[in-house]
Each structure stands twice: as structure tokens, then as C-alpha cells.
Structure 1
Amino acid sequence: MLADQRRELILAEVERTGAIRISELTELLGVSDMTVRRDLEHLEARGWLRKVHGGAVLSQSSVEESSFEAKSALQQPAKRAIAARALQLVEPHTAIGLSAGTTTWMLARGLQGTEMPLSVVTNSTTVADILAVNAGPHLRVVLTGGERTPSAALVGAIADRAIGSLHVDRLFLGVHGMDARVGFSCPNLAEAQTNQALIDSARQIVVLADSTKWGVVGLANFGKLGAADILITDDGISAEARRVLEDQVGKLIVVPVSEGTLGKAFAGTTTRQREREHA
């Protein structure tokens, strides 16, 4: 197979899945690890993809915002693992915030049907929708209102005013990108401002970000890395990124992707048992 043919296949796979590992490409193409790495460098130099630790992801523009549906197809195992770990931080008789995002949506899915006494504040229409399915009598959902973005976030003055009047114990925050210099960012100026309002409303900030978000910089930033009291990511994060995060965030939690399922997070645990654990 010629180099151009290999690279077309690599790009087609990354566009189809959103991300791919080098080990998968060596098996698919029947070539060496070094050959794949050279092909990835070639494609990255032309802006068609971005190399990450152990593989590659689609290039992300600093200003273009993907739809919720497009984002939800990316990095699903990592997002499930992160959401499963985040579920362990949800405590009964508290108010939590869930920002817009596909990883926070997976966290909300894990709360479906919960009997835990809980209040949830969200600026995400998809999060509110998933929580409405089999909602228990003790689950209160507050939807902020506002203008809807392609990523299903409600933003703008209405959302910001609503959030500014509320206080949550713990905010679970999704991000478009995280970078050592810029911090946390997204492509939408209004969403960045609404995310800042969410941060200001919370006693504790928990950022949920899969490893492909490292090094991505959106148009507008809404906080330095140090704004995160806890950051949960997956084990695809590079050693360099891990060092930076461990130095700057309050607590870094790295979850193995293979073990992350929402079913395991609450499996075999009753509401009363969880309340005793957090007492």
C-alpha cells in the first residue's frame, strides 16, 4: 500500500471514530509502529488530525463548535469511565451542578431512577432530558433557561442571572479543552461566561475531561487549571500532562478506561448504604 493510500485510510478511520490508537492502526494497516507514527506526523502537519498520547484525534477548531450528537460519538469508553468515577462523588441531600457536555450527560444517565435525595442545577437540555426519564420523587432538577448552543448548552444573560442566584455544593464541569498555559476553554464566548457563572456558584469544582482534551485551546477561556478542586481524566493522558495537572489542580484522578462502566458505579449499592458511606 502506498503512503498516500495509508494516510487516506487513517484519516477515514479518525473521521469515522473521532479518535484511534496507534496499536489499532498497525493492526489495520499491517505496518510498523514507526510507519504509523510518521503518517500521523504527516497528517498533523497538514492540520487534518492531532496527535495525542498513543494515537490521534480529529483536529478541533478554536471557534467551530460541534453538535452534541457529534461529540457524543467520540471517546465513549473514556467518558463512561470518567462518569462512573464521578458518580462516586455524588452525595445524598446535596445540590450539584451539571454543565453542558457529553461526559456530564453520561454522569446524568447514571443518576437515572436514583432514589437519592438530590437537587441538580443544569444549563444542558440533554442533561435535563435524561434526568427526566424515570425521575424519582426525591430528584429535583433546575434548568437555567437561556439560548441554546449546538452543544445543547443554555447560555447568555438569562442563564447567567439564573445561575447567579443559585448555590451548589459540587459542580461537575465539562470542558472543550485544557491547556497548561490557557487553562480551560471552549469555542463559544457566551458559554465561557456561563461556565464562569457556574464555577462562581459552586463550593467545589470537579472537572470531567477525557485525555484528548489536553492541549486543545478554544476561543474563550473560563478558568486556569487551578480552578479545579478535582479533575477526573482517563489513563490515555500523557506523562507530561499528568505532571502539569498534578502540580496545578487540587486533586487529579486518573481512571483506567477498561474498568469504567456506569453499571459498576452503583451496582449492588442501595440508597441507604450510600447515605451511610457518606455520613
Structure 2
Amino acid sequence: MSDNHNLLAEQRRALILEEVRRRGGVRVNELTRRLNVSDMTVRRDLDALARQGVLEKVHGGAVPVSGASTHEPGFEAKSALESGAKEDIARAAARLAAPGSAIALSGGTTTYALAQHLLDVPGLTVVTNSLRVADVFHAAQRADGASGGRAPAATVVLTGGVRTPSDSLVGPVADAAIASLHFDTLFLGVHGISAEAGLSTPNLAEAETNRRLVRSARRVVVVADHTKWGTVGLSTFASLEDVDILVTDGGMPEAVRAEIRERLPELVVADGEADGGEDRRKAGTDRPR
């Protein structure tokens, strides 16, 4: 029962955040009518979103955070957002990692969730600029010994660099390390994605590091929940044309899915529904007509 309540609250807060970003602000009474919930419930949701740093409460409602295009929440704050959707995306994206391949994982909470699903893929070489991602593989190796019944331990290459609020390593050291490497698939988390601005981040140094990651990859897989669509950070580091596959969740509106199908070779939608009562997620793949 508590899981259902948490999921409903998470979906409701995602809708509130979308409205704030789209309209530049919302009033509490508008949200109570649209969401069909009490005034107290809306105010609790606004309090939670304000604590996460993704909006600002004002008298009678909420507005986007000041300087939103340059605001970069910390890892813990972002982890609390859309956790169910990120888990669905991670399960679906893990199926795209071929055993024995060289892959890269950028920083971010969705790639962190993905890393935990890649532990059972044998023979991976993992390049990452994320301290959190590297810790996932390191902790698994310590817990399991050499292999401990899991797939053979991955080889992890952690770039150097300067640490960001998202626990990513960026800057000239990271850029130089990535530029000398080549990997089969890049799994890329993003701050924002849109048709006009492409893939963007509020951190200028991270933007350059992400550009290097994209250039070094034979295939680019973006992992982004539906709330990232329409969000624009300060710096664009890639266009939609640079993306081979977008893995998102079932909350992505159908109109947006249609737009993505026109622009990308492949769209994978992790719908999060139970399959035959088993603990696994179904993923639907939409291709351009």
C-alpha cells in the first residue's frame, strides 16, 4: 500500500513540476482542481519539491527556481526525483549492453541506477566519469570476491577531473582521458532534452566533457525520464541527431513520443507494468515509420 502511495505522490509531483516549468508558475488552487486532491496535499508536494531545489514556493503557489538554466541540484536531491521511472529505464537500457563490449556511463542518477543492472553483464569494460557509478562496480567486486557467482567482474576505467555537485568528474583532465578512448556504446544521462536545444546541462565544464563522450562513442543511448523533456540547461552539448536511442519511461506524452520518432532512429519506452505477475519490466520499442 505504501509503495502505491509513493508512486502516486511521485507522479503528482512530476506533473506539478512540468506545469511550473511550462507556464512559469502555478497557483495552489489551480493544482487542487487539476489533480483532484486537497489543498494540504498540494502544499506538501510543493514543500517536497522546494526541498529538492527544483522549484521555489511563493505566496499561493510556486515558480521555477531562480536562474534555472544554471541551477544544478546535488546527487541526493536528484535521486529523490522519479526514482521509479529511473529504475524502469535502467532495466530496459541494461538490455542494450552487449557482453564483452566497451561501454561508457556518464554521470547522473539514471546512469547510477543503470550501473546496478549491468553487474550481471559479463566481460564489460566500463569507462565512466561518475564516482557513484564506479562505486557500484567496486562495491560489487568487494562483496563477491573475484566473481562470487555473478558475471565476471567488469574492468572499470574512471576518468580524472574536477568533481561536480552531481559527483561527476569534468574538466581538462577528464576531457583528455576520454578523447583518447573509443567505446561501443555510451549511456548518457542528461539534465534536459528538447527538440530545439538538444541535450543540455547547467554546468559548462560538464557540457564539454559530455561532448567528448559523445564523440568517442559508436552508439549513443540517452537515458532520461519524461520530466527531462522540455528542460533546457545553460549549455547544449549535443543535438538530437547525435542520439541513436532514447530510453525513457511511460510518462512521456504520446505527442512527444511521436515527435521523437520523427527525429531518432529508435525510442524505447519502459512502461513499468508487471509481466505475468513477475518482478520484471516490459519495454516497448517504437521505430520511425
Shift in CA distance, 143/70, structure 1 to aligned 2, threshold 3 Å: same
- Say which SS state the counterpart of residue 47 (structure 1) adopts: strand
AA aligned opposite 2:223: L
Specify the alignment match of 2:166 in structure 1. Answer: 151
Specify the alignment match of 1:65 in structure 2. Answer: 72
AA aligned opposite 1:177: G
2:172 matches 1:132:
no
* Aligned equivalents of 2:208, 2:39: Cα separation in 1: 39
Number of matched pairs: 227
* Aligned equivalents of 2:40, 2:170: Cα separation in 1: 38
Higher relative contact order (CA 8 A, sep 6+): 1
- Say which SS state the counterpart of residue 236 (structure 2) adopts: strand
* Aligned equivalents of 1:259, 1:153: Cα separation in 2: 33
AA aligned opposite 1:196: R
2:44 matches 1:12:
yes
Q: Deviations over 1:161-206 (max 9, x none)?
A: 0000111000000000011111110100000110010000100000
1:123, 1:154 within 8 Å by CA — same for their partners in 2? Answer: yes
Bigger Cα displacement from structure 2, 157-166 vs 133-142: 133-142
- Say which SS state the counterpart of residue 91 (structure 1) adopts: coil
* Aligned equivalents of 2:67, 2:195: Cα separation in 1: 17
* Aligned equivalents of 2:83, 2:246: Cα separation in 1: 18
Q: Deviations over 1:180-238 (max 9, x none)?
A: 11111010000011001000010000000000001100000111112110001111111
CA apart distance, 1:258:
3.4
2:97, 2:121 within 8 Å by CA — same for their partners in 1? Answer: no
Q: Identity of aligned pairs, percent? A: 45
* Aligned equivalents of 1:14, 1:233: Cα separation in 2: 25
Among 112, 122, 125, which residue is 1:119 paired with?
Answer: 125
Query: After TM superposition, where is structure 1 displaced by more than 3 Å over at least 4 residues in a row?
Result: 2-9
Specify the alignment match of 1:81 in structure 2. Answer: 88
- Say which SS state the counterpart of residue 196 (structure 1) adopts: helix
- Say which SS state the counterpart of residue 98 (structure 2) adopts: coil
Specify the alignment match of 2:111 in structure 1. Answer: 104
2:241 matches 1:226:
yes
AA aligned opposite 1:71: K
In structure 1, stretches of 5+ residues that fail to align are 19-41, 49-57, 266-279
CA apart distance, 1:90:
1.1
* Aligned equivalents of 1:253, 1:93: Cα separation in 2: 23
* Aligned equivalents of 2:106, 2:235: Cα separation in 1: 16
CA apart distance, 1:3:
3.8
CA apart distance, 1:60:
8.7
Root-mean-square deviation over aligned CA pairs: 2.5
In structure 2, stretches of 5+ residues that fail to align are 1-27, 33-37, 51-59, 142-146, 282-289
* Aligned equivalents of 1:123, 1:105: Cα separation in 2: 11
Among 188, 208, 216, which residue is 1:193 paired with?
Answer: 208
CA apart distance, 1:115:
6.3
Report the TM-score, using the length of structure 2 for normalisation.
Answer: 0.73
CA apart distance, 1:12:
2.8
Q: Deviations over 1:233-252 (max 9, x none)?
A: 11111122112211111211
Shift in CA distance, 16/122, structure 1 to aligned 2, threshold 3 Å: same
* Aligned equivalents of 2:29, 2:170: Cα separation in 1: 45
* Aligned equivalents of 1:235, 1:70: Cα separation in 2: 22
Alignment of 1:164-243 (within 5 A): 164-243=179-258
1:60, 1:216 within 8 Å by CA — same for their partners in 2? Answer: no
Among 91, 99, 112, which residue is 1:92 paired with?
Answer: 99
1:211, 1:236 within 8 Å by CA — same for their partners in 2? Answer: yes
Report the TM-score, using the length of structure 1 for normalisation.
Answer: 0.75
AA aligned opposite 2:174: A
* Aligned equivalents of 1:140, 1:98: Cα separation in 2: 13
CA apart distance, 1:15:
4.1
AA aligned opposite 1:87: A
Alignment of 1:50-61 (within 5 A): 61=68
Q: Deviations over 1:62-118 (max 9, x none)?
A: 101000011011101100000000111111111000000101000111223x36111
